[in-house]
């Protein structure tokens, strides 16, 4: 073939390929071809543009595979019972299989009849909704499937717009590709809001019927199924007829879909709504200062919401085991409140100075008022009107009552007249039911704090931080810094015992002055009474709370040693001033109570704790107070070997023998000292009263070998309680009332002496060793057992006849003093000088 022929062949091939374009042009020139192309292309372009505009940036549907809804935190007490929940959304998460079949069918009939047939979008329903919205000027209606509602509730916003609906549809399709129908329903039934702060069907079952989902009747299931769209429109009290009509419609839809038969539908429609009033919560929250302190600890550790981490207090679904003892907590609450009432009695009615705007909803204002009435049978109320000899009062539940003038006849504090004459509409007051009406009550202005601690572990069994946490969340047991007064003296004497002194050491109860520096002269300490008793034993000085003996002992020991021991015991970090030995340094009830617990624990360290351990929503322990290993402690059954025990890790903070000597002396404070009123409890007790300058605060700290309790009473803005106020008169009776209720059934346990302690018979007043006679059970017996460290017992002795002669000579003086003072605690303390 020639070259020319080859070129022609190539030219012919190019001409044939180029002929395609003319063919396309011929087709495109046809009018109907253009119309067909546009009809095909526009939807494709439209879908692409819709996807580009609305589907970009949507959350991942795969996140639902690991989705965990916000769950409340549950708190358990020392017995394992659930006593408190911390929740902003009340929710209980269940698995799909735990929901009754009929309940699921009720929600399908009400919300999405074709749920198991469609792929996430109900196209016929959308068409109907579009037509309705185009022909109506009212609120737009939707055709959301359950899958779309899951997308909206979990991943999108509540914005009411077509844009959100389109995004919702895209996401619903993605969800259907990722989750099964059962998984989608489980998310929906656990998440949907149904009113009364109930999120999820189980919480709603409790809120409306006080039942679990498995116990619901058919008509109750149908009622819950009407709530997802608008819970407020079907309120069982305010919109009963609308709720019944909608519920009966759902029952009819269930019959039409074959979920129930006609007889079931008719029987259910004949039932009333049957809802309960109130929250319907199966957990009666105990509240109070203890739980508020637990909440603070949890928030400090984990935060509040999901944004703070996976274990937020209001979202993480934590299970918290605490040391809360309901019996001891109730005893502490009642004892402290009764003690405050005893002090405030006879002082007149105190106006809380709270009011509501009567032109607005007074019930909601009353419910929101920061006013805690304390006692279970007291109620906060609003004065609605006052006419003649009675006032009409209203309560948060909308009920009303009558407050007669005769039941409000006490004078107003600091003013006089009758309290009734000062009552005006809108005022918030405290009242107590009496007969068929109510009596006015007054919340004391004075306050205080109380802590109860387990000696062996440091677990806080009870805590009361004031009158009522609803009125003031300030926890005076942990946050109030107060001077401990004479309750600090055991620390001074413990330091002295550690540095060569003994309980029988003689200390002079006489004038003691120190130089204040150049040109400032001297400062002289004194006992409360101003009198001195001369040389006395350390024991006597502690039992009678003698200031001069305490200061002298601190000076002999060295204040640096006293303050070092105070730091070691966690009481406080103080300068080396002698005034600190009399309790002039600030501390808290919790810190002082823990120091006494260390003494009772033979000097071994205990740290106050309120939380034993914390589990996450899946049951995994994420925090434990006691971190000691214990091999075999979680064994499913006994293996026949000795009980496994965790190793001891406690530090010895102070000499065990010193700690026991101090506890033994503090038993004497109860037996014959400033807390002798507690002697009638009939069990081994130790403790110390305290009264500060003013007196501004009064204290008592003490207890048994098992538990220690501390209490103080004082004004929040410190001022004098009155000259008669003493720790033995005000604080010790609070402990006594607590002890009678809380420890009456506890075993009687003696304080255990550590190895090395020698118990020696001594003369109580002189501290000399005694031969020929034995101690008796008489509280003020001349001969007692005293605890000594090895080789420290007294060398000098005293004969029995010398003791008898001395006691006989002192008897008339003691009888005259007793007759003159009639045994009153305050007189006793003034006589003995027990005050800082």
The residues carrying an active-site annotation are 111, 486
Among residues 72, 90, 99, 111, which one has the least CA distance to residue 213? 99
Closest CA to 409 of 419, 396, 395: 419
Alpha helices by DSSP H, listed for 581-629, are 589-600
Beta pairing partners, 769:
762, 797
Q: Are 181 and 115 in contact (CB under 8 A)?
A: yes
In the beta sheet, which residues pair with residue 718? none
| Residues 775 and 784 sit within 8 Å (Cβ to Cβ) | yes
10 Å Cβ neighbour count for 449?
A: 28
Burial class (CB in 10 A: 0-12, 13-18, 19+), 636: exposed
DSSP per residue, 435-480: TTEEEEE---S-EEEEEEEETTT-BEEEEE-SS-TTT----TTTT-
**What angle, rounded to 10 degrees, do the helices at 559-568 and 547-557 form?**
100
Distance CA(356)–CA(395), nearest Å, equals: 12
Reading phi first (left if > 0) and then psi (alpha if -120 to 50, else beta), residue 520 is in alpha
d(CA 834, CA 836): 7
Helix 146-155 and helix 181-191, axial crossing angle in degrees, nearest 10: 60
Please say whether the beta carbons of 511 and 713 come within 8 A.
Answer: no
Collapsing DSSP states into helix, strand and coil, what is residue 515? strand
Q: Are strands 611-615 and 73-76 parallel, antiparallel or unpaired?
A: unpaired
| Residue count (the chain) | 836
Asked if residues 204 and 216 have their Cβ atoms less than 8 Å apart, the reply is: no
Nearest CA among 564, 802, 825 for reference residue 676: 825
Measured from the Cβ of residue 80, the count of other Cβ atoms closer than 10 Å reads: 8
Q: Which residues contact 126 (CB under 8 A, 6 or more apart)?
A: 143
Beta strand 319-322 with 73-76 is parallel
DSSP-assigned beta bridge partners for residue 193: 199
Residue 66 — φ and ψ, nearest 5°? -115, 15
User: Can you say whether the dihedral through the CA atoms of 35, 41, 47, 52 is positive or negative?
Assistant: negative
Residue 17 CB neighbours (<10 A): 8
């Amino acid at each position: 073939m020639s070259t020319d022929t080859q070129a022609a062949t190539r030219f012919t091939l190019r001409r044939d390929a180029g002929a395609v374009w003319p063919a396309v042009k011929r087709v495109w020139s046809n009018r109907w071809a253009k119309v067909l192309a546009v009809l095909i292309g526009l939807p494709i372009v439209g879908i692409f543009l819709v996807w580009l505009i609305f589907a970009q940036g949507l959350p991942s549907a795969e996140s639902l595979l690991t989705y965990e809804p916000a769950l409340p935190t549950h708190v358990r007490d020392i017995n394992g019972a659930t006593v408190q929940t911390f929740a902003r959304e009340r929710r209980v998460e269940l698995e799909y299989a735990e929901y009754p079949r009929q309940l699921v069918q009720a929600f399908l009939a009400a919300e999405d009849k074709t749920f198991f047939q469609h792929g996430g979008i109900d196209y016929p329903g959308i068409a109907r909704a579009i037509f309705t919205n185009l022909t109506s000027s009212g609120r737009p209606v939707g055709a959301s499937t359950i899958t779309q509602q899951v997308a909206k509730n979990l991943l999108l916003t509540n914005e009411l717009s077509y844009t959100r609906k389109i995004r919702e549809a895209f996401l619903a399709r993605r969800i259907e590709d990722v989750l099964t129908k059962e998984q989608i329903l489980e998310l929906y039934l656990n998440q949907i809001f149904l009113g009364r702060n109930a999120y999820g069907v189980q919480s709603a079952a409790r809120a409306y019927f006080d039942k679990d989902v498995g116990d619901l009747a058919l008509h109750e299931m149908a009622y819950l199924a009407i709530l997802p769209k608008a819970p407020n429109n079907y309120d069982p009290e305010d919109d009963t007829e609308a709720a019944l009509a909608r519920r009966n419609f759902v029952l009819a839809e269930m019959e039409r879909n074959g979920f129930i038969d006609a007889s079931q539908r008719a029987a259910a429609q004949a039932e009333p709504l049957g809802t309960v009033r109130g929250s319907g919560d199966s957990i009666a929250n105990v509240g109070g200062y203890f739980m508020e302190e637990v909440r603070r600890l949890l928030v400090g550790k984990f935060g509040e919401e999901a944004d703070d981490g996976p274990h937020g207090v209001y979202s993480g679904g934590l299970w918290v085991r605490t040391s809360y003892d309901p019996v001891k907590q109730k005893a502490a609450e009642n004892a402290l409140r009764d003690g405050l009432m005893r002090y405030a009695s006879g002082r007149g009615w105190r106006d809380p100075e709270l009011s509501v705007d009567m032109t607005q909803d007074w019930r909601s204002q009353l419910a929101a008022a920061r006013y805690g009435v304390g006692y279970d049978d007291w109620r906060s109320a609003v004065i609605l009107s006052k006419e003649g000899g009675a006032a009409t009062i209203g309560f948060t539940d909308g009920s009303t009552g009558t407050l007669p003038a005769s039941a409000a006849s006490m004078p107003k504090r600091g003013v006089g007249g009758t309290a009734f004459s000062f009552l005006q509409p809108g005022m918030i007051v405290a009242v107590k039911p009496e007969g068929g009406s109510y009596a006015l009550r007054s919340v004391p202005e004075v306050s205080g704090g109380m802590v109860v601690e387990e000696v062996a572990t440091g677990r806080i069994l009870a805590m009361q931080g004031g009158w009522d946490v609803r009125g003031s969340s300030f926890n005076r047991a942990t946050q109030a810094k107060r001077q401990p007064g004479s309750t600090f003296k055991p620390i001074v004497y413990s330091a002295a015992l550690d540095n060569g002194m003994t309980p029988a050491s003689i200390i002079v109860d006489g004038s003691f002055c120190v130089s204040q520096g150049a040109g400032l002269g001297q400062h002289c300490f004194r006992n409360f009474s101003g009198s001195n008793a001369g040389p006395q034993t350390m024991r006597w000085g502690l039992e009678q709370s003698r200031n001069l003996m305490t200061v002298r002992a601190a000076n002999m020991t060295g204040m640096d040693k006293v303050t070092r021991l105070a730091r070691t015991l966690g009481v406080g970090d103080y300068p080396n001033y002698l005034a600190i030995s009399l309790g002039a340094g600030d501390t808290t009830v919790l810190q002082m109570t823990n120091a006494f617990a260390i003494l009772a624990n033979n000097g071994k360290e205990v740290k106050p704790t309120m939380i034993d351990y914390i589990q996450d929503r899946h049951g995994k322990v994420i925090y434990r107070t006691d971190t000691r290993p214990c091999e075999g402690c979680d064994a499913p059954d006994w293996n026949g070997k000795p009980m496994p025990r965790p190793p001891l890790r406690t530090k010895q903070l102070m000499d065990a023998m010193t700690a026991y000597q101090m506890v033994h002396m503090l038993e004497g404070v109860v037996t014959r000292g400033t807390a002798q009123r507690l002697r009638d409890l009939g069990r081994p007790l130790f403790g110390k009263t305290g009264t500060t300058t003013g007196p501004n605060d009064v204290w008592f700290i003490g207890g048994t070998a098992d538990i220690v309790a501390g209490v103080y009473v004082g004004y929040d803005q410190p001022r004098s309680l009155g000259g008669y106020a003493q720790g033995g008169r005000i604080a010790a009776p609070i402990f006594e009332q607590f002890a009678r209720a809380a420890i009456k059934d506890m075993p009687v346990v003696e304080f255990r002496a550590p190895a090395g302690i020698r118990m020696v018979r001594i003369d109580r007043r002189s501290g000399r060793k005694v031969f020929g006679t034995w101690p008796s059970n008489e509280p003020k017996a001349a001969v007692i057992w005293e605890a000594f460290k090895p080789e420290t017992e007294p060398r000098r002795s005293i004969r029995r006849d010398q003791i008898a002669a001395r006691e006989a000579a002192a008897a008339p003086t003691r009888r005259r003093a007793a007759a003159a003072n009639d045994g009153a605690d305050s007189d006793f303390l003034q006589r003995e000088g027990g005050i800082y």
